Amino acid sequence: MTLTEENYIKTIYQLGKYGTVRVSTNMIAEALDTKASSVTDMVKKLADKDYLNYKPYQGTSLTSKGKKIAADVVRKHRLWEVFLVEKLNFSWDEVHDIAEQLEHIKSEKLINELDKLLDYPTSDPHGDPIPDKFGDIKKTDKSLLFSLDENALGVCVGVKDSSTAFLKYLDNHNIALGSEIKVMSKEDFDGSMVIQIDGVSMSISQAVANNLFVKEKN
């Protein structure tokens, strides 16, 4: 497959909740920042190769063949992110673009050895799950911070927005994976929240609360 074809397959896999739902042409076009007509041409091409199920105006889904390739690409991307953070001391806001290049390496042995070296991680530095070599994903019980009630306690397990700007914002406010977050109060007016992390209280916007995944603690 070409790099462009792999990127399309990966995008459809992620937009379709790891290949479980159909994805519209417009969703793919927006994610890849391209024209809908270009997406339609590529989708038809990939369908002809038996990577996709495509019907006009009914969306696109991955075949089992396409799902396996997509899971492999995502696995490589997220393993490389873990490697860059754990072994080369990159910060979590630096690794995405580098992993975008490394995810296209074809050596299966290299990726399996990388997985072994890292002790078979199940999530990347942003909390996203890493498919195993069979394409299976270990599901985690998580919800958005904004959905928690007042006085609820949760542990940060991931981010919905992995942009550099958002990750730097979290670093500046000492919010990271594993942080214990207690909801102190929620404002009805604008959805902002007062939270407490390691005994320090701070106010965050609804936008921030809607981009942090937490696992609630009883």
Instruction: Kindly tell me if the per-residue pLDDT of 72 is higher than 90.
Output: yes
Work out the angle between the directed axes of helices 64-86 and 108-117 (0-180°, nearest 10).
Answer: 50
Q: b vs e for 43-74, b when ≥16 Cβ sit within 10 Å of the residue's Cβ?
A: beebbeeebbebeeeebbbbbeebbbbbbbbb
- The reported pLDDT for the residue numbered 91 is 96
| pLDDT classification of 215: cutoffs 50, 70, 90 | very high
Residue 67 counted as domain residue: no
Residue 50 counted as domain residue: yes
Share of the chain above pLDDT 70, in %: 100
Residue 89 counted as domain residue: yes
Domain end among 62, 82, 105: 62
CATH of residue 97's domain is 1.10.10.10
Distance of CA 55 to CAs 7, 66, 160, Å?
Answer: 20, 16, 30
Residue 117 counted as domain residue: yes
My answer on whether 11 and 39 are in the same domain is yes
| pLDDT classification of 50: cutoffs 50, 70, 90 | very high
My answer on whether 135 and 149 are in the same domain is no
- The reported pLDDT for the residue numbered 212 is 97
Instruction: Kindly tell me if the per-residue pLDDT of 182 is higher than 90.
Output: yes
Are the CB atoms for 118 and 111 separated by under 8 Å? no
- CA pair distance 215, 127, nearest whole angstrom: 11
- The reported pLDDT for the residue numbered 34 is 95
Does the CA dihedral 147-151-152-154 come out positive or negative?
positive
Residue 168 counted as domain residue: yes
Are the CB atoms for 178 and 133 separated by under 8 Å? no
- CA pair distance 178, 162, nearest whole angstrom: 16
My answer on whether 58 and 19 are in the same domain is yes
My answer on whether 35 and 57 are in the same domain is yes
My answer on whether 171 and 189 are in the same domain is yes
Domain end among 108, 139, 170: 139
My answer on whether 84 and 50 are in the same domain is no
CA 77 to the chain's CA centroid? 10
Least confident window among 23-27, 65-69, 118-122, 139-143: 139-143
My answer on whether 31 and 88 are in the same domain is no
Q: What is the pLDDT of residues 111-146, one digit of tens each?
A: 999 999 999 999 999 999 999 999 999 888 899 999
My answer on whether 129 and 147 are in the same domain is no
CATH of residue 157's domain is 2.30.30.90
- Identify the three-state secondary structure at position 78: helix
Share of the chain above pLDDT 90, in %: 91
Domain end among 96, 120, 139: 139
**Domain span at 81:** 72-139
My answer on whether 170 and 122 are in the same domain is no
Q: Per DSSP, which regions of the chain are E strands?
A: 52-54, 60-62, 143-144, 153-159, 180-186, 193-197, 200-204, 212-217
In this prediction, residues 102-114 reach a mean pLDDT of 96
In this prediction, residues 37-55 reach a mean pLDDT of 95
Distance of CA 70 to CAs 33, 62, 175, 202, Å?
Answer: 19, 9, 31, 39
| Domain tally, the chain | 3
Tokens of 13: 């896999």
Residue 131 counted as domain residue: yes
- Closest residue by Cα to residue 9 from 57, 52, 64, 56: 52
